[in-house]
Structure 1
């Protein structure tokens, strides 16, 4: 008898109510026994492949390509299967087809004299690839991944061998029928999508989906329909979450960043946010202002000069409103310790200077038509009206609400997954390595307890309907998470937005990183963090993003003797000049951890027309000689618990404590 069967009568009686409920799903001894056999079999399968990405920043084309090619994994599998039996050009074409089946089929067919022959060869090749990537899963899991229209046919093709003479005609007959009925294109697209889906078992996004790039809303559309994923919120995500919850300071920051990077598509086309009132206000107030410090950051000639000028004026207009609104939050919450961020009242309007940290600096822009020197944080009537309209637009965007609910349901501040601790930026710690106490309301929190508290506040800010004092505090804290000095999502002494716009000197623009970033290469500190989050330091890793790894300067993403991995490699084009690459993917499969370093992605059009894939380099971070199985994962632990209770149910049936239901 296996150890699972050693069940005492006392433990059965203590769990009797639960076992009675369980008996409804497994009403007989045979049902419970069959389920135990199934679960034991699953435990012995290889561990599913996890992919980790971070700091996508709206670069939707590169993100979608990395999903489609599984960070180069599909290409390697095609090489493993076909080796020297296919030319390199043929393997390249097959990979492009798998990535973009709907777009590539017609292009491939146009080059063929006999389309039916191409269909038959291609279908055979795709079935081989699909069989290969599905081999580590149960038939049940594969079946659930199949499109309903072709589920039965794909199952037959995957599980029937062409090598058996009696089956060869049957196999070929299916292929011929698919072609003759005109369903080949649809079938190819279906099986390509199955290959993509089975190659990545779980996707982890370690923060910062939003801002800078043009397609954060497209990334969210992709994620909301993805089969298995989770998100660890980044500071740019929390900013949008705060804006969607109605925090007007967050709304101003969102719009300011969109105008700064000439990314109005996300606001207008993605979420239907009406920014025309802001444009009108900016033209009225700053029509004669060149707004030189507010010129958008663009890398091409897509926009006309007059469009860039308007965006600069809009950026200045919303920035001034932002500084006013943020000043009120700082006044409301002395526990935030952010008085140094209130700079409007430090301006000498006659001299054109500002006092920062006891030193006077000359302003490069002294045109402040909406600031009252006697009450600098008060909104004008026009500004108050404008911000009300913008807030209404954010709160009434159905698409934004859908994406935010997805961020909340699939997201969290941190995640423990298969001995990995995932969080976007940092854990507040002191210079000596101790966990830093952070005041929230009238109480101090630190370490894991602080992150748990913040996670709850983020949910309260969005889901509490009435404007209770608790909700209003949570709303203000969403802004603090964006830019507060002790925020685990920010991790710097200040966000020097005012200084970057209005002061030419570099000294006041410096944002000093918190002690975490000094200590993250210290294995002892990393072990301390892992222990705080109830993970084994011997087996576990920390996975971060947030700070781009400057590979071009020789910086490595692997810290603390492999304990901590920083996988922000510059997915955002804005960061690629300083990183020298275009992002990382961390892959955790049954053989261990691999880090994939990506070169820049040109475009989807080039990928389809020229078969141009992302060039990726693989580095083995950690390798295990003994292949990991499902039983070694978090899912495995849950399955073992299920087996334990099913064994109890079996004993209850056999001892007559619970009667079979059939």
Structure 2
């Protein structure tokens, strides 16, 4: 039927101007009726596939080797797939070798090539085994999605091997294996298919904050995250501290250096990021010449190393930058009275002659009274040398391209919180007042609470970073970005004060105590968690909160499952400094199409022992919740997006058939 002009114009009235613009743009991607129909069929089919497996990790704190191994073994999922295929046909030693080969293919191949007598036979058997493991790892995904995960060099070969094995094609199948070996590509194929298996078993990775500090290789962790195909990050207070330093906030720069010195990780700054610390070293040696700086010796320094030149210099740098941080933080606190952080202005509370300080009406004795850079009459004033030092450090941080790239990754893949597939993810807390209600916080003269508070801090941080070169603009945003590290109402911190000065200069447990936000007293309460879920627009009947930040004291009987299963705290101490508290070495929360599983990890010895001795991380898996029916893509957030796309495509199909939108191709 051919429509006349009036009928055609009448049909156009069924579409708004904005919708027609949208449909014409969509038509550029799907230029024919057939292409639209094909995409609708494809999306409808995907909606009925099982959902991908999500892995949740938190508080990595630079523990690169453990983090890397957990990703390589997919928190035990690789071994689970091997057992599923070869439970009765392979012995434990062979399964362990196969698992290690998948985790570390390059390194393990070097050892096997030296030790294996009949390498060709080993290749033939091993390639077949790896293909079978890959097949069961890919069985719940579309061929299209599996192809996208394949390494480019071997995509065609892997696709054939995964999908073409049957009795009629056995000779064809075996000839592919033989050819791979004959053309001397077996090693490259093993590396490729091993990484392909690793990729398939983690469909989505969630990092619930604190990538930085404590451990030595946060930069390597960030490289992995930067290159990961599907990852999101919920910022921790340690992450935002580094992000603020990269934005050129001087107090944050000093704080980042202080923590690096405290854990003897200055190499991360100097070697990994190329930050020039020579000006700080020179300043510290001059200012603290003759000062043993005993309170500033890096933690966990062996007694025999305390007198070494390295430790002495690090201790002096540690003290020098700590005092600088106190002065620079005071600048922010003084110009931001709405932060209510006046109690952190302590340098003017010191009686420098007596060596004592007054805090909360109590006069306490200082353990260290040597303050050569502080003028008692004007204790917060920077010396000329400190001013010069602060600017040199700021220049170095602003111009470190690798650090800036990592911080841009934190912004592009991260946020203060994320609601995803009925789970609410955040690192620290949702600030509550003493009554348990959402705490109202004043920012730039306006009050925010709950979800709006988290969103505002997110917005402020982005503005502060992307305006970092404009000194006259967004200065208050920079102040609040610093506040996220240590402010009483920061959702990333969650304590009423950060007792930094007290830990260094006082021997008084009461003064050093850091009282937590009311949230931590009430997060065991189901009703509190229900209110938080509702505040963020989630259905409390089927949703959960996933939380990090505070290590779970497993050794003392504390459970990571709280509020009758509504909240999971998955900080199990991946970083070694925390393992004395937790008694374990981290958790992974795994959310597959059947259930929620909490994997509890034993300490990871080393990458070397994992490769040479085939020592895996021992993980205890506990099912927390099982779905009545298998969860499909249509039940997920991606499913909602696909349904919206299907709606748009149906509308475009209708517009094509009515002639309202022209077919773009013939």
Category of TM-score, reference length = shorter chain: over 0.9
Q: Does 1:79 align with 2:83?
A: yes
Look up the match of 1:314. Answer: 317
**CA deviation digits over 1:268-307, x for unaligned, max 9?**
1110011111111111111211111111013668967221
Residue 263 of structure 1 and its aligned partner are, at CA, apart by 0.5
Matches within 5 A, 1:616-631: 616-631=619-634
5+ residue gaps, structure 2: 1-10
Residue 466 of structure 1 and its aligned partner are, at CA, apart by 5.1
Between 1:286-295 and 1:458-467, the stretch displaced more is 458-467
Residue 599 of structure 1 and its aligned partner are, at CA, apart by 0.6
Look up the match of 1:104. Answer: 108
Q: Does 1:573 align with 2:566?
A: no
Look up the match of 1:613. Answer: 616
Look up the match of 2:164. Answer: 160
Look up the match of 1:260. Answer: 262
Look up the match of 2:5. Answer: none
Asked if 1 retains the 8 angstrom alpha-carbon contact of 2:248 and 2:468, the reply is no
Asked if 2 retains the 8 angstrom alpha-carbon contact of 1:12 and 1:648, the reply is no
Between 1:411-420 and 1:290-299, the stretch displaced more is 290-299
Residue 465 of structure 1 and its aligned partner are, at CA, apart by 4.9
Asked if 2 retains the 8 angstrom alpha-carbon contact of 1:109 and 1:118, the reply is no
C-alpha separation between the residues in 2 aligned to 1:118 and 1:154? 19
Look up the match of 1:281. Answer: 283
Q: Does 1:530 align with 2:533?
A: yes
**CA deviation digits over 1:109-159, x for unaligned, max 9?**
322221000001000000001111111111111111111111111111111
Asked if 1 retains the 8 angstrom alpha-carbon contact of 2:543 and 2:566, the reply is yes
Between 1:214-223 and 1:469-478, the stretch displaced more is 469-478
Q: Does 1:556 align with 2:559?
A: yes
Question: What is the SS of the residue equivalent to 1:575?
Answer: helix
Question: What is the SS of the residue equivalent to 1:404?
Answer: helix
Q: Which residue of 489, 511, 514 corresponds with 1:508?
A: 511
Q: Which residue of 17, 20, 32 corresponds with 2:24?
A: 20
Asked if 2 retains the 8 angstrom alpha-carbon contact of 1:429 and 1:515, the reply is yes
Q: Which residue of 135, 138, 142 corresponds with 1:134?
A: 138
Look up the match of 2:187. Answer: 185
Look up the match of 2:433. Answer: 430
**CA deviation digits over 1:186-245, x for unaligned, max 9?**
010000000000100010000000001000000001111111101000000000000000
Look up the match of 1:52. Answer: 56
Structure 1 residues 541 and 230, CA gap change in structure 2 (3 angstroms):
same
C-alpha separation between the residues in 2 aligned to 1:218 and 1:401? 14
C-alpha separation between the residues in 2 aligned to 1:299 and 1:144? 48
Question: What is the SS of the residue equivalent to 2:232?
Answer: strand
Question: What is the SS of the residue equivalent to 2:545?
Answer: strand
Residue 646 of structure 1 and its aligned partner are, at CA, apart by 1.2
C-alpha separation between the residues in 1 aligned to 2:71 and 2:437? 39
**CA deviation digits over 1:354-374, x for unaligned, max 9?**
000011000011111110000
C-alpha separation between the residues in 1 aligned to 2:331 and 2:266? 27
**CA deviation digits over 1:65-88, x for unaligned, max 9?**
000000011111100110110000
Structure 1 residues 596 and 329, CA gap change in structure 2 (3 angstroms):
same
Runs of 4+ in 1 over 6 A off after TM superposition: none
Look up the match of 2:233. Answer: 231
Look up the match of 2:452. Answer: 449
**CA deviation digits over 1:335-391, x for unaligned, max 9?**
110111011000001111000001100001111111000000011111111111111
Asked if 2 retains the 8 angstrom alpha-carbon contact of 1:96 and 1:607, the reply is yes
Question: What is the SS of the residue equivalent to 2:73?
Answer: helix
C-alpha separation between the residues in 2 aligned to 1:217 and 1:24? 41
Structure 1 residues 393 and 465, CA gap change in structure 2 (3 angstroms):
closer
Structure 1 residues 641 and 302, CA gap change in structure 2 (3 angstroms):
farther
Asked if 1 retains the 8 angstrom alpha-carbon contact of 2:57 and 2:208, the reply is yes
Q: Which residue of 495, 499, 502 corresponds with 1:496?
A: 499
Q: Does 1:174 align with 2:176?
A: yes
Look up the match of 1:5. Answer: none
Q: Does 1:373 align with 2:376?
A: yes
5+ residue gaps, structure 1: 1-7
C-alpha separation between the residues in 2 aligned to 1:652 and 1:488? 48
Question: What is the SS of the residue equivalent to 1:574?
Answer: helix
Residue 444 of structure 1 and its aligned partner are, at CA, apart by 1.1
Between 1:125-134 and 1:21-30, the stretch displaced more is 21-30
Look up the match of 2:3. Answer: none
Question: What is the SS of the residue equivalent to 2:424?
Answer: strand
Look up the match of 2:4. Answer: none
Asked if 2 retains the 8 angstrom alpha-carbon contact of 1:586 and 1:595, the reply is yes
Between 1:122-131 and 1:29-38, the stretch displaced more is 29-38
Look up the match of 1:601. Answer: 604
C-alpha separation between the residues in 1 aligned to 2:193 and 2:370? 61
Matches within 5 A, 1:574-589: 574-589=577-592
**CA deviation digits over 1:38-87, x for unaligned, max 9?**
00111111000000000000000000000000001111110011011000
Matches within 5 A, 1:337-486: 337-465=340-468, 467=470, 470-486=473-489
Question: What is the SS of the residue equivalent to 2:577?
Answer: coil
C-alpha separation between the residues in 1 aligned to 2:661 and 2:367? 81
Asked if 1 retains the 8 angstrom alpha-carbon contact of 2:352 and 2:376, the reply is yes
Residue 528 of structure 1 and its aligned partner are, at CA, apart by 0.7
Structure 1 residues 300 and 49, CA gap change in structure 2 (3 angstroms):
farther
C-alpha separation between the residues in 2 aligned to 1:333 and 1:652? 57
Structure 1 residues 150 and 303, CA gap change in structure 2 (3 angstroms):
farther
Structure 1 residues 156 and 447, CA gap change in structure 2 (3 angstroms):
same
Asked if 2 retains the 8 angstrom alpha-carbon contact of 1:249 and 1:322, the reply is yes
TM-score, with structure 2 as normaliser: 0.96
**CA deviation digits over 1:579-631, x for unaligned, max 9?**
00000000111012111100110110010000000010011111113110000
